[in-house]
């Protein structure tokens, strides 16, 4: 990694004010605090400032490379036509093709997609895989749409973006309210346009269409690996360590199950509409079966119902927010009683909450490290598709563990050397890697 010399250094306060129009002492309003793009930008600016990043590179990396807005006409089952708005933001392709999921939700916004795309850039750089960052979203209510309507929406969205997607351009994956089937539709649509089957255009596909073993559990597995490393780093015994997980979807359920298998005591699971608590520990295998049968964790006989917000603030060794953004803010961070915070979700902690947690001495494993297991195994899937040769699940998991462990210790080294919080250390590590590649490539003119 190239050193940053005195010639590239600028006065820190002047750099921030000149590039962003504010200094890092400018307070964020509550609305700004909850804006994911503002939150990402605040962390980016602090990392760039501490690295003494030269203004030109700072300006390049602070903004997305490309933002695409498409309006998608879809014939609904009742014969009417609805027009949906979709986004794809490509933040950086300096280190490789864009990589990032596609989410379907009524509250998708361009600022949210921008933030998620930039987080993907930093996440891929933290674990040192050759991807840049991208993200997509469509404003819709998938729960109110039939399978046929979702297929038509997905195929038209893909066709609208066809020139911007590809194994060497931008590789989508599942995200909120999208899944293996969604990826199969995208792969098929892209393949029909190119006249050949191109399995490597997406990841998170069914195994029968070139998916990777271990991909479904990968984000949760990565969370469990860095949780192990955090407790080792702090000299804490994982056996019997109490864990609360917020969210019991793909990431939260697999995180909880893998930690439970290792001997952690999962004392609480919080969902958006309530939680479960058992001070002696929940049986996660039985809880997963209960949810699969009943569609919800509620009513599970092995735990007591509890308010989800109350559970989030209950004393525990490890708290894992694994659902949505802005779970911990300036309004509740002071009441967090966890010793270790491992962010399974993207952006669950606002910048203001970061400062409060740091004052409380909470050890944070930031999202761009903690939940990078998913994109790392997506990289493995992309590699396997391009080789036409597939690995065993054990090989996938062993490679994932090696990368996650190495990345955890890379971040800890930056935190020690620069005397910064773990989150800023992760941003500094990522930004240093992307900035170095950007300097090497130069500016095409």
- Hey, which residues are catalytic here? 135
CA distance 30 to 286: 40
Q: Which two tokens stand for residue 94?
A: 């300096």
CA atoms of 260 and 274, how far apart (whole Å): 21
How far, in Å, CA of 149 to CA of 167, rounded? 27
The 8 Å CB, 24+ separation contacts for 356-364 are 356/330, 357/328, 357/333, 358/421, 360/333, 360/334, 360/336, 362/336, 362/338, 363/230, 363/234, 363/339, 363/422, 364/340, 364/421, 364/422, 364/423
Query: Rounded distance, CA 240 to CA 269, Å?
Result: 16
The torsion angle over the Cα atoms of residues 122, 35, 90 and 354, rounded to 10 degrees, is 0
Distance CA 78, CA 29 (A): 44
Contacts of 266 (CB under 8 A, 6+ apart): 242, 243, 244, 245, 256, 259, 260, 281, 282, 284
CA 366/CA 411 separation, integer angstroms: 10
Structure tokens at 50: 């501490």
Burial (CB < 10 A; 0-12, 13-18, 19+), residue 376, is buried
Sequence-separated contacts (24+) of 405-413 with Cβ below 8 Å:
405/225, 405/229, 407/126, 407/127, 407/128, 407/369, 407/372, 408/225, 408/226, 408/229, 408/230, 408/233, 408/365, 408/369, 409/229, 410/126, 411/126, 411/366, 411/369, 412/233
Rounded to whole angstroms, the Cα distance separating 310 from 323 reads 16
Q: Tell me if 219 sits within 8 A of 374, measured CB to CB.
A: yes
Name the residue among 70, 117, 75, 72 with its Cα closest to residue 98.
117
Residues paired with 270 in a beta bridge:
246, 275
């Amino acid at each position: 990694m190239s050193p940053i010399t005195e010639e590239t250094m600028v006065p820190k306060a002047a750099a921030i004010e000149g590039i962003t129009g504010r200094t890092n002492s400018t307070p964020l309003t509550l609305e700004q605090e909850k804006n994911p793009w503002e939150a990402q930008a605040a962390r980016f600016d602090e990392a760039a400032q501490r690295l003494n990043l030269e203004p030109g590179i700072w300006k390049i990396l602070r903004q997305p490379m490309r933002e695409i807005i498409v309006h998608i006409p879809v014939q609904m089952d009742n014969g009417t036509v609805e027009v949906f708005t979709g986004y794809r933001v490509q933040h950086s392709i300096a280190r490789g093709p864009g990589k990032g999921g596609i989410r379907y939700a009524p509250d998708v916004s361009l600022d949210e997609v921008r933030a998620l795309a930039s987080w993907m850039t930093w996440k891929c750089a933290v674990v040192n895989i050759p991807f840049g960052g991208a993200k997509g979203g469509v404003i819709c209510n998938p729960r109110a749409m039939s399978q046929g309507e979702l297929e038509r929406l997905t195929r038209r969205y893909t066709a609208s973006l066809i020139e911007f997607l590809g194994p060497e351009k931008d590789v989508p994956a599942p995200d909120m309210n999208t899944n293996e089937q969604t990826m199969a539709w995208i792969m098929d649509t892209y393949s029909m346009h190119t006249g050949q089957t191109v399995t490597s255009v997406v990841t998170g596909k069914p195994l029968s269409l070139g998916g990777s073993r271990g991909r479904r559990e990968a984000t949760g597995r990565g969370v469990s690996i860095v949780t192990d490393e955090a407790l080792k780093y702090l000299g804490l015994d994982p056996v019997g360590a109490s864990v609360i997980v917020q969210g019991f979807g793909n990431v939260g359920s697999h995180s909880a199950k893998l930690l439970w298998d290792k001997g952690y005591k999962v004392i609480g699971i919080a969902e958006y509409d309530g939680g479960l608590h058992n001070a002696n520990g929940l049986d996660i295998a039985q809880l997963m079966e209960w949810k699969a049968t009943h569609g919800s964790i509620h009513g599970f006989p092995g735990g007591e119902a509890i308010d989800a917000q109350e559970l989030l603030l209950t004393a525990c060794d490890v708290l894992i927010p694994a659902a949505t953004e802005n779970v911990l803010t300036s309004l509740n961070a002071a009441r967090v009683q966890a010793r270790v915070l491992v962010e399974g979700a993207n952006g669950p902690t606002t910048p203001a909450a970061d400062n409060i947690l740091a004052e409380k001495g909470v050890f944070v494993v930031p999202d761009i490290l903690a939940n990078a297991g998913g994109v790392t195994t997506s990289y493995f899937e992309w590699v396997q598709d391009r080789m036409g040769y597939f690995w065993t699940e054990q090989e996938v998991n062993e490679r994932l563990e090696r990368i996650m462990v190495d990345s955890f210790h890379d971040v800890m080294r930056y935190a020690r050397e620069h005397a910064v919080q773990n989150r800023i250390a992760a941003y500094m590590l990522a930004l240093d890697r992307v900035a170095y590649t950007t300097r090497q490539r130069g500016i095409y003119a």
